[in-house]
Amino acid sequence: MVDAGPQSPSVTGHVVIQPSASPHRALRLVRDVDLLLAATIASVRMNRPTSVFEPPASLAACPRCQEAYAEARRTIEDAGGIAKWMEWVAR
C-alpha cells in the first residue's frame, strides 16, 4: 500500500510508482528505469519471465514507457547480458 498522505494526488494516464509522503524517503527519486530493473531482478530470482525485453503491448504507444524500457535494456546489455548484470547487482 502506498502512503499518499492526507490527500491522494490526481493521477492521469498510468503510473509505475507513486513516492511515499512519509519522511523516510530515498535520497534520489526512483525512476521508471529503476523500477523496471528491480522488477527484472525479482523475475530472475523467482525464475519468471522478464518483461524488460518484451514490454506489454499496452505500453507500446507511450513514449515515456518506450524510453524507460529501452534504457533498462541498454543497462543490462551494457553489462554483458542478464546473467552478468545479475552478478554485478549481487555485489
- For residue range 35-52, what is the model confidence (pLDDT) as tens digits? 899 999 999 999 998 888
DSSP string, 61-76: T-HHHHHHHHHHHHHH
Q: Which domain holds residue 50?
A: 32-90
- On whether residue 63 sits in a domain, the answer given is yes
Number of domains in the chain: 1
Non-local (6+) Cβ contacts of 16 within 8 A are 32, 35, 36, 68
pLDDT band at 86 (very low <50, low <70, confident <90, very high): very high
**What pTM was computed for the model?**
0.67
Instruction: Over range 56-67, report the average pLDDT.
Output: 83
- On whether residue 67 sits in a domain, the answer given is yes
pLDDT at 79: 96
